[in-house]
């Protein structure tokens, strides 16, 4: 089994590589540190080593630089495994439908995620902006658009409330008695005024995605361009460019949230398989706090049975909700910390003792402390220095090659998408 190198440790004048063993990686890694200290570089170097060793990986990059770097360094023999999801490629949009489900487990899980995503985007502090009423309507509406052989996307939800023919067709496919009751008992009694109030509410949330051609062409698709279970089994290389500068912050968060939810659904189904049938898969997510919902904590705690090794990074511990922070410290096998501010140094000093607050505050860039999982146990903290970005021959033509191949394999020509969406979304 191939190890990956994280950095270099110097002790009493001896330098040795800090190596992370494959079997320990399924317990995950979390990394924190101020801007410019070398976090993305560590992930890039590790991910490239995974690619060179033939593993399957997914890299979610909120800036785009790491993806560009990886593309320049991918060995030729792995080019056919690359799926480059760049939502800013307007001419050949990929399909990313949160609500495409293949079985009952996925259906339940994804509808719950849909609700969680709306909390995360529109009411993260749960102040009551999104309440039980919206949840109830959203759950039933989502289950209704998903009904029938063609399925549906979340962007079709508002149409349910304005297009009686669409509502009728969708309802004819329903089998779940609770959803049937929602329409026949509750909705039948709801006044027109109340309905339009609810529609306005839905439109205020879905509207920005329906009205943005870029997002509509991606999220309106009923069929996903790729499926995580297949991609993990085939050891594909999924590179996701969520550059906020190109697609906008809200859109980047929405797409990241959908991706992680779909990944989670696929990963959780792997628990039923024998360990040997779970091909290891490695996920790298920078600024991960933007792309996870509350259910993510459970993925961290019951990790090994899924065959997924996660690598999560962000700049501030204080950006993380308490549940996620507790789950990280309680469950993640490998912790790595660079220079941080005072508040974070205080928290880290507790986890990394005998390293002190002051040690973290004064760390030069590219230097870190690590608690590494070794043979199933987390080590005492020790120090390390990052490896510089790997200096191997680079090929700047790879991105263009990959883009051409991917447009054919996973994208749809924009005009075609727009034509079919015009029929699908409008009454
Ligand atoms: N060991 C190293 N030696 C020399 N240069 C390095 C080393 N590690 C990283 N760098 C360079 O330092 C710069 C900052 O690194 P990087 O982008 O990885 O930081 P970061 O922690 O991800 O920052 P941000 O939080 O802003 O994304 C980059 O230009 C990178 O190439
Ligand atoms: Mg970075």
- Identify which ligand lies nearest to the alpha carbon of 314: 1
Which CATH number do you get for residue 350? 3.40.50.300
Query: Are 9 and 78 members of one domain?
Result: yes
How far is it, in rounded angstroms, from Cα 409 to Cα 94? 10
pLDDT in tens, 182-218: 999 998 888 888 888 888 888 888 889 999 999 999 9
310 close to 283: Cβ distance less than 8 angstroms:
yes
Query: Which tokens belong to 235?
Result: 């050891």
Indicate whether 141 pLDDT > 80.
yes
Whole-number Å distance, alpha carbon 216 to ligand 2 midpoint, is 29
pLDDT tens readout for residues 240-299: 999 999 999 999 999 999 999 999 999 998 888 877 778 999 999 999 999 998 888 888
Question: Is 427 within a domain?
Answer: no
Whether residues 253 and 359 fall in one domain: yes
| Entry pTM | 0.95
| 408-411: long-range pairs with CB below 8 Å, 24+ | 409/83, 410/83, 410/85, 410/94, 410/225, 410/226, 411/89, 411/92, 411/93, 411/94, 411/225
**Residues 390, 276 within the same domain:** yes
| Average pLDDT rounded to a whole number, residues 33-45 | 96
The domain tally of the chain equals 2
**Residue nearest atom 4 in ligand 1 by C-alpha distance:** 388
Residue 99: inside a domain: no
> What's the angle, vertex CA 324, arms to CA 385 and CA 375, rounded to 5?
50
- Domain of residue 313 covers 4-94+224-409
Q: Which of the pair, 287 or 124, is modelled with greater confidence?
A: 287
| Under 8 Å between Cβ of 206 and 154 | yes
Q: For residue 34, which atom of ligand 1 is closest to its CA?
A: 25
Residue 54: is the preceding peptide bond cis (ω within 30°)? no
Q: Which of 218, 248, 268 is the last residue of a domain?
A: 218
Proportion of the chain above pLDDT 90, given as a percent: 71
Residue 70 domain-assigned?
yes
pLDDT of residue 1: 61
Among protein residues, the one with the nearest Cα to ligand 1's atom 25 is: 35
Same domain assignment for residues 206 and 242:
no
Residue nearest to ligand 1 atom 13, measured at CA: 36
Residue 50 included in any domain: yes
Structural domain ending residue among the three candidates 190, 218, 246: 218
Residues 370, 346, single domain; the answer is: yes
**By alpha-carbon position, which residue is closest to atom 7 of ligand 1?**
388
Give the distance (Å) from ligand 1 centre to CA of residue 365: 8
Task: Indicate which residue's Cα is closest to atom 9 of ligand 1.
Answer: 38
List the residue whose alpha carbon is closest to atom 2 of ligand 1: 388
From ligand 1's centre to the CA of 39, what distance in Å? 6
289 shares its domain with 172: no
Phi then psi dihedrals of residue 208, to 5 deg = -55, -30
Q: Are both 327 and 399 inside the same structural domain?
A: yes
Q: Do 279 and 391 fall within a single domain?
A: yes
Average pLDDT of the segment spanning 416-421: 86
Cα(35) to ligand 2 centroid in Å equals 7
According to DSSP, residue 390 is labeled: P
Q: Which residues pair with 405 in a beta bridge?
A: none
d(CA 378, CA 362): 24
Determine whether the shortest distance from the Cβ of 40 to ligand 1 is under 6 A. yes
Q: Is 44 in the pocket of ligand 1 (CB under 6 A)?
A: no
Q: Are residues 127 and 25 in the same domain?
A: no
pLDDT at 53 over 80: yes
Task: Indicate whether 422 belongs to any domain.
Answer: no
- The kind and range of the H/E element at 84 are strand 82-85
Last residue of a domain, one of 218, 251, 269: 218
Question: CA-CA distances (angstroms) from residue 91 to 70, 214, 419?
Answer: 23, 9, 13
Looking at the structure, tell me whether residues 254 and 317 fall in a common domain.
yes
pLDDT category of residue 427 using cuts at 50, 70 and 90: low
Long-range contacts, 7-13 (Cβ 8 Å, 24+): 7/42, 7/368, 7/370, 7/384, 7/385, 7/386, 7/387, 8/384, 8/385, 8/387, 9/382, 9/383, 9/384, 9/385, 10/383, 10/385, 11/382
- In a shared domain, residues 252 and 381: yes
Same domain, 142 and 279: no
389 lines ligand 1 (CB under 6 A): yes
């Amino acid at each position: 089994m191939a190890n990956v190198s994280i950095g270099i440790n110097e002790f009493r004048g001896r330098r040795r590589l800090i190596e992370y063993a494959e079997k320990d990686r399924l317990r995950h890694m979390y990394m924190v540190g101020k801007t410019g200290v070398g976090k993305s570089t560590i992930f890039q170097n590790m991910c490239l080593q995974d690619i060179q060793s033939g593993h399957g990986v997914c890299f979610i990059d909120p800036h785009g630089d790491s993806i560009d770097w990886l593309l320049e360094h991918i060995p030729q023999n792995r080019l056919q495994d690359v799926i480059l999801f760049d939502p800013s490629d307007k001419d050949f949009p990929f399909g990313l439908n949160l609500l495409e489900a293949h079985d009952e487990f996925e259906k339940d899980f994804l509808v719950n995620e849909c609700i969680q995503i709306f909390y995360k985007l529109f009411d993260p502090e749960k102040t009551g902006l999104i309440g039980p009423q919206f949840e109830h309507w959203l759950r039933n509406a989502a289950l209704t658009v998903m009904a029938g052989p063609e399925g549906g996307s979340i962007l079709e939800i508002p149409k349910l409330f304005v297009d009686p023919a669409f509502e009728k067709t969708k309802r004819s496919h329903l089998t779940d008695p609770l959803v049937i009751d929602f329409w026949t008992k509750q909705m039948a009694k709801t006044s027109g005024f109340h309905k339009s109030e609810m529609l306005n509410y839905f439109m205020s949330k879905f509207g920005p995605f329906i009205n943005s051609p870029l997002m509509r062409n991606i999220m309106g698709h009923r069929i996903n361009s790729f499926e995580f279970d297949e991609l993990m089994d085939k050891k594909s290389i999924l590179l996701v460019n969520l550059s906020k500068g190109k697609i906008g912050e809200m859109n980047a968060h929405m797409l990241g949230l959908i991706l992680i939810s779909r990944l989670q659904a696929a990963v959780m189904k792997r628990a039923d398989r024998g360990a040997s049938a779970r091909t290891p898969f490695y996920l790298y997510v920078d600024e991960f706090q933007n792309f996870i919902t509350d259910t993510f904590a459970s993925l961290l705690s019951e990790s090994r049975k899924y065959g997924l090794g996660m690598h999560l990074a962000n700049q501030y511990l204080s950006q993380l909700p308490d549940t996620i922070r507790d789950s990280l410290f309680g469950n993640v096998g490998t912790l790595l910390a660079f220079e941080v501010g005072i508040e974070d140094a205080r928290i880290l000093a507790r986890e990394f003792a005998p390293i002190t607050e002051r040690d973290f505050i004064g760390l030069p860039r590219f230097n870190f402390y690590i608690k590494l999982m070794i043979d199933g146990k987390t080590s005492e903290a020790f120090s390390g220095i990052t490896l510089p970005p790997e200096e191997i021959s680079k090929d700047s033509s790879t991105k263009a090659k990959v883009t051409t191949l991917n447009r054919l394999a996973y994208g749809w020509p924009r005009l075609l998408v727009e034509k079919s969406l015009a029929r699908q979304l409008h009454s």
